[in-house]
Amino acid sequence: MREMDIGDRSRHGSLPASVRVAAVLAMLLTVAATPPGVSLGQWSQGPSLPSGRSEDGVAAIGVFLFVVGGFGEGTRAQAAFTVFNTGTQSWKDLPALPRGLNHPGVASLNGKLYVVGGFAEDGRAVSDGYVYDPELGRWDTLEPMPQPRGALGLAAVGSKLYAIGGNRNGRSVTDHEIYDPVTNRWLPADALPLARDHLGVVAFNGKVYAIGGRIDSARRNVARTDIYDPNTDTWSSGAPMPTARSGVAAAVFGDRILIIGGESPARAFDTNEAYDPVRNAWTRLAPLPSPRHGTGAATIGDALYLPAGAPRPGGSQSNTLFIFAGP
């Protein structure tokens, strides 16, 4: 595998037995042990990207995996737009983004790819919005978000898109707006309970999950799970992740939400943890072949794809494509 230059057991001492038992029970409510004989899944490696990327956006439409913007070699790489055909197992360059972006929010809806926010090549947060139509092979401009922000999450529920969290002027924000493609308008929504950026945002069974992330910097990573119900415009809380991380990849895989990779100031993570919304519990799955942060993931068929990403904390890139199968 080529990477371009592009990361104790707890002690209870003399605590009373009743306190030790209570602590163990509390932990089990959050992290579900993997039952004997149950597979943790496995990773393989697919064809390499044409070039190394990180802090890009990722989404899928049909059998196609799209990788949008991000850091690469030179500023022009931030407008790069690449697609992987899972049928032919081949990569192809597509028409570049209208402007270079890193840390954008990316999601697919009704056969189109939406890109909102992010940071421009000079590092400023932007409020831009773009939509790519694969049938026409072109980009169109959307109504801008009410406020600029990068390192946000974007997810689709029903006919609308939900843009959550992010960073503006070096500070995490609680911004939450809903985009309606029919009217090309942004609508206000209940603010994210805790301001943060570099978080994982996915839609599952009609709700939006905002998981992990950081408060202003990776020195303040969080493990929380916030759940938004579009029907009531309210947030609730789920069990926190076992491992606080930011810069994660997030995707729905089967009946669970996978939060993969991430970073802290000291290292990038190979961690792969699955959240079961029904049981409100987490399970640790097979770790990545090597650490990654600053990319996304998407499920196509019975496999999850994680392209590119940074192997070290801070600025680095890779051109790998990791593929997860089962459990």
CATH number at residue 293: 2.120.10.80
Where does the pLDDT of residue 164 fall: very low under 50, low under 70, confident under 90, or very high at 90 and above? Answer: very high
25 part of a folded domain? no
Q: Please report the pLDDT score of residue 327 as a whole number.
A: 74
Domain that holds residue 297: 39-325
* Structural domain includes residue 19: no
Domain membership flag for residue 103: yes
Residues 211-264: tens digit of each pLDDT: 999 999 999 999 999 999 999 999 999 999 999 999 999 999 999 999 999 999
Specify the pLDDT at position 76: 79
- So what's the pLDDT on residue 4? 36
The reported pLDDT for the residue numbered 27 is 40
Whether residue 143 is contained in a domain is answered as yes
State the total domains in the chain. 1
Q: Which residues contact 320 (CB under 8 A, 6 or more apart)?
A: 1, 3, 45, 48, 49, 290, 292, 307, 308, 309
When pLDDT is averaged across residues 66-76 and rounded to a whole number, the result is 90
Of 107, 140, 101, the C-alpha closest to 122 is: 101
Residue 36, pLDDT score: 47
Q: What is the percentage of the chain residues whose pLDDT exceeds 90? A: 85
Angstrom CA distances, 127 to 68, 148, 218, 287, stand at 16, 4, 23, 35
Return the SS3 of 130.
strand
Determine the Cα–Cα distance for residues 12 and 24; give it in Å rounded to an integer.
11
Examine residue 6 and state whether it is found in any structural domain, yes or no: no
Model-level pTM?
Answer: 0.89
27 belongs to a structural domain: no
Within a domain: 54: yes
204 occurs within a structural domain:
yes
Q: Which range, of 15-24, 80-89, 266-275, averages the lowest pLDDT?
A: 15-24
Beta carbons within 8 Å of 313's beta carbon, 6+ residues apart:
7, 218, 263, 264, 265, 266, 267, 268, 293
**pLDDT at site 8:** 32
